[in-house]
Amino acid sequence: MNRLEQLNFDNTFASLPDSFHSRLSPTPLPDPYLVSFNTNAAQLIDLDSAEAARPDFAEHFTGNRLLPGAEPLSMLYAGHQFGHFVPQLGDGRAILLGEVRNRSGELWDVQLKGAGVTPYSRDGDGRAVLRSSIREYLCSEAMHGLGIPTSRALCITGSDEEVYRERIETAAVLTRLAPSHVRFGSFEVFFSRGQHDQIATLADYVIARHFPHLAGDNDKYQLFLNEVTQRTAKLMAQWQAVGFSHGVMNTDNMSILGLTFDYGPFGFMEGYDPGYICNHSDPRGRYAYDQQPQIGLWNLACLAQALSPLIEKQQAHEVLDGYAPAYHRHYAELMGAKLGLEKILDEDIQLIGSLLQIMHDSRTDYTNLFRGLGNFDSAPDAANETLRDQFIDRAAFDAWSSAYRVRLKQESCNDRERKARMDAVNPKYILRNYLAQNAIERAEKQRDFSEIDRLLALLARPFDEQTEMESYAAAPPDWARQIEVSCSS
């Protein structure tokens, strides 16, 4: 494992022409300190975890001192924000230090989020606050623990420098890792400017770096769009199956690799509500939970338009037509697995849908109900009272459980085997808003970061029982209803 000075930088994005980025150094923060360090993420870049104990560690990961080999820059992109095109966005508070190549040959972007003003800050201060940094740090690792593609988080550093959002808060920097931070909007900016050569340059770069198997194909751009479409369809199904809402699915927040990133006002649904809106800044619900699959396709259509100088219109339509079947296939497979079904039959869609309907009627806790279904007793006379009590209309659950029991009889496994399978896909622990809020309040009021580290360890193993952490699986307390997250989160 490497010391900081030994990280193997190989800055491929920096080698692109200046039209793709702006070179600059981070703005120093006074007296930085380490909030939390993620040893699991450190392994991705072959960084020795002991390095986090160095007195100068926080200096490097607030950007006060540059790492040898770093070539800091901010990336240019545009995007559709809440359905409206903004012709230039770019990294307004994020600076890519560079790309580190690990011993396996993988390249990882090392990006400082909150590192100061860039040419794309649009009158912003270029800073992140401790509150939002904690939320993204924990959620990206929670998503990784759930097996959902995501950016990763190496560490949080903090400072007592004041930053104003809805109130005075303190500054922080999140060090984010990802195979790439290229997004749909990275192509849109050049399409809007009529710079078709740059579109081809960026597409060739992304294909060479991330889809090399397509490089020699005559239809490589169509196949590239198809790869992005298929990955996005699967990602949307994964979000829906786990009850996750991103909150700001603008095209500039959509990864070209099908990763979850740019966490802001996200939320894991608690009481089941398909119209769940996690973002207080989205009163019309454009990015509500049940809208995410359709928005995924809408965003892909924007990407297809941006790639239109490289792809014939009919080819693009054929690719996009494959989105819905892919999404529905993945979603059915994931939901069937959540019910412990070994094979998905056509009639299982109705079984899944009817369960979700009675959950909606009772606002049954999404995560806890599916986890509890692993204990469903399929015996003909079993009452399943613990599950039954999670519904207002118990008769409706009884009717559903009868249909479920009949369906389980068609499967070859017994209840014990089914429970093991279900527990492996139905998490016991998710990053509920109140859990994140508890960690934030300790950090802000007491400079006590222990709860952040406790949650980090918990969420790395969301499917394990972890009996000593049982209380962290509880449904939210009443005070949690007052928590609101917005685009400043």
| Catalytically active residues, by annotation | 252
What whole-number distance in Å separates Cα of residue 149 and Cα of residue 147?
7
Pull the structure tokens for residue 134.
Answer: 């904690």
For the chain, the farthest-separated pair of C-alpha atoms sits apart, in whole angstroms, at: 71
Contact 120, 76 (CB under 8 A): yes
Pull the structure tokens for residue 31.
Answer: 């007296």
Count CB neighbours of 200 within 10 A.
15
Rg (CA), the chain: 23
What whole-number distance in Å separates Cα of residue 293 and Cα of residue 235?
9
- Write the single-letter amino acid at 378: S
| 211 closest CA partner among 179, 176, 187 | 179
Which residue matches tokens 């889809």? 211
Q: Which residues on neighbouring strands pair with residue 260, listed in sequence order? A: 150
Which residue matches tokens 């819905």? 324
Contact 170, 160 (CB under 8 A): yes
- Write the single-letter amino acid at 23: R
Q: Which long-range contacts (CB under 8 A, 24 or more apart) does 52-55 make?
A: 52/155, 54/4
Contact 473, 368 (CB under 8 A): yes
Count CB neighbours of 324 within 10 A.
13
Pick left, alpha or beta for residue 98 (phi over 0 → left; psi -120 to 50 → alpha; otherwise beta).
left
Pairing of strands 79-81, 107-113: unpaired
- Give the three-state DSSP class for 388: helix
- Give the three-state DSSP class for 467: helix
- Write the single-letter amino acid at 227: E
What whole-number distance in Å separates Cα of residue 215 and Cα of residue 203?
10
Count CB neighbours of 147 within 10 A.
14
